[in-house]
Structure 1
Amino acid sequence: MSLAGLFPIDKWNFKSQSILSNLPEDEQAYLCANMLEQRYSKGEIIFREGAVASGIFFIKKGKVKKYQVDHVGKEQIIYVANAGELIGYHAILADERYPDSSATLEECVIAFIPKEDFLTALERSAVLPRRLLKALSHEFAVLSNSISVFAQRSVKERLAITLIVLREKFKEETAPGTEIMINVSRSDLANMVGTGIENIVRFLTEFKLAGILVTQGKKICISDVKKLIKVSGCGNER
């Protein structure tokens, strides 16, 4: 089921998929000259907050969480990146260390592009700077929206929003006609919502009893997305 006209999904998703798509051949060559592709197991660290930024990462397959860790060691997941998205480029553009950490949520194939190659492509390209500026502007709007939600929405509403967004992310790699299964641990779900695992379990049980979702182990299938949108309080927002 499409969310068009029901839920403002663009307010919750970055748009970095389009940054590297269909670049001119010579610009693509600069980027790919020393590209290194690597397979990651579930739960592997890609880079850590504060590490020297040595390059950018292009997710070819799988999903990655971007997160920060507070003074007591608790994760706050900022964003879940899908296949086709770039991560790590903010630090390169700002000439700073990585501002957050990234780890795989499932088995992934990720290509590493060295900093020097990325900057060379950026200097020579007429297309790439405009795409990056557009992506960064949209990301700022998404993060501003997320901060507002954390300040104004209840835990139940934040969980509903998170499940709707995750449904769209897992939908991208689900075959047509197949049920969309959200495969995220309760711990990661709690770190996305900004609450404890006990609250996640309690509200998931409530949603199950209301006929909104079903679970298969840790996997979640949204059976009534319209009800979930109503719970989120974000229906038809513009």
Structure 2
Amino acid sequence: MSLAGLFPIDKWNFKSQSILNNLPEDEYADLCAHMQEQRYSKGEVIFREGGVASGIYFVKKGKVKKYQVDQNGREQIIYVANTGELIGYHAILADERYPDSAATLEECVIAFIPKEDFITTLERSSVLPRRLLKTLSHEFAVLTNSISVFAQRSVKERLAITLIVLREKFKAETLPGEEIMINLSRSDLANMVGTGNENIVRFLTEFKAAGILNSQGRKIWIKDVKQLIKLSGCGNIQ
């Protein structure tokens, strides 16, 4: 089921997958001249908050969480990057250390592009700077929206929103005719919503009893996305 007209999904998703699409051949070749591809197991850290930014990362397959850790060691997941998205480029553009950490949510194939190649291509390109500016502007709007939601919405509403967004993330790699399955640990889900595991378990049980979803272990299947949109308070369903 499409969310078009029902839920403003663009307010929750970054658009970095469009940055490298159809770049001029010579620019893409320069960018990828020294690109190194690596396979990661589930749960592996790609880079850590405060680390020296030596390059950017292109998610060729899989899903990656971007997160920060508070003084008590608790994660706050900022975003989940999908196949085709870039991560780590904010630090390069700002000439700063990585402002957050990144780790795999599942087995991934990730390509590393050295900082020098990214900067050189950026300086020569007539296309890449405009795309990056557009993407950064959109990401600012997404993060502003997320901050507003955390300040104003209840845990149940935040969970509903998070499940809708995750459904779209996992839908992207679901084959036609297959049921969309969210495969995420309860702790990661809690860290996205900004609450404790016990609240996640309680509301998932409530949603399951209401026929909104099914679950088995860490796997979740949304059965009634329209009802979930109603609970989120962000959709256009009356």
**2:106 matched to 1:114?**
no
Letter in 2 for 1:11: K
1:30-49 alignment, distance < 5 Å: 30-49=30-49
| Residue 136 of structure 1: how far off its partner (Å) | 0.1
Question: What's the counterpart of residue 146 of structure 1?
Answer: 146
| Residue 236 of structure 1: how far off its partner (Å) | 2.3
| Residue 217 of structure 1: how far off its partner (Å) | 1.8
2: distance between equivalents of 1:119 and 1:26? 15
CA RMSD of aligned residues (A): 0.7
| Residue 178 of structure 1: how far off its partner (Å) | 0.6
Question: What's the counterpart of residue 189 of structure 1?
Answer: 189
1: distance between equivalents of 2:141 and 2:218? 31
Question: What's the counterpart of residue 137 of structure 2?
Answer: 137
| Residue 216 of structure 1: how far off its partner (Å) | 2.0
**2:79 matched to 1:76?**
no
SS in 1 for 2:98: coil
Give unpaired runs (5+ residues) of structure 1. none
Question: What's the counterpart of residue 166 of structure 1?
Answer: 166
Letter in 1 for 2:134: K
| Residue 94 of structure 1: how far off its partner (Å) | 0.2
2: distance between equivalents of 1:207 and 1:8? 21
**2:91 matched to 1:91?**
yes
Letter in 2 for 1:216: Q
1: distance between equivalents of 2:20 and 2:159? 32
2: distance between equivalents of 1:147 and 1:218? 27
1: distance between equivalents of 2:9 and 2:42? 26
2: distance between equivalents of 1:21 and 1:45? 26
Question: What's the counterpart of residue 127 of structure 1?
Answer: 127
SS in 2 for 1:192: helix
SS in 2 for 1:163: helix
| Residue 177 of structure 1: how far off its partner (Å) | 1.1
Question: What's the counterpart of residue 177 of structure 1?
Answer: 177
2: distance between equivalents of 1:226 and 1:44? 35
Letter in 1 for 2:153: R
| Residue 218 of structure 1: how far off its partner (Å) | 1.2
| Residue 44 of structure 1: how far off its partner (Å) | 0.1
Give unpaired runs (5+ residues) of structure 2. none
Letter in 1 for 2:98: Y
Question: What's the counterpart of residue 224 of structure 2?
Answer: 224
1: distance between equivalents of 2:204 and 2:95? 42
Question: What's the counterpart of residue 19 of structure 2?
Answer: 19
- CA offset digits 1:138-189 (Å, max 9, x no partner): 0000000000000000000000000000000000000011100000000000
**Identical aligned pairs, as a percentage?**
86
Question: What's the counterpart of residue 155 of structure 1?
Answer: 155
2: distance between equivalents of 1:132 and 1:148? 24
1: distance between equivalents of 2:96 and 2:63? 25
Letter in 2 for 1:163: L
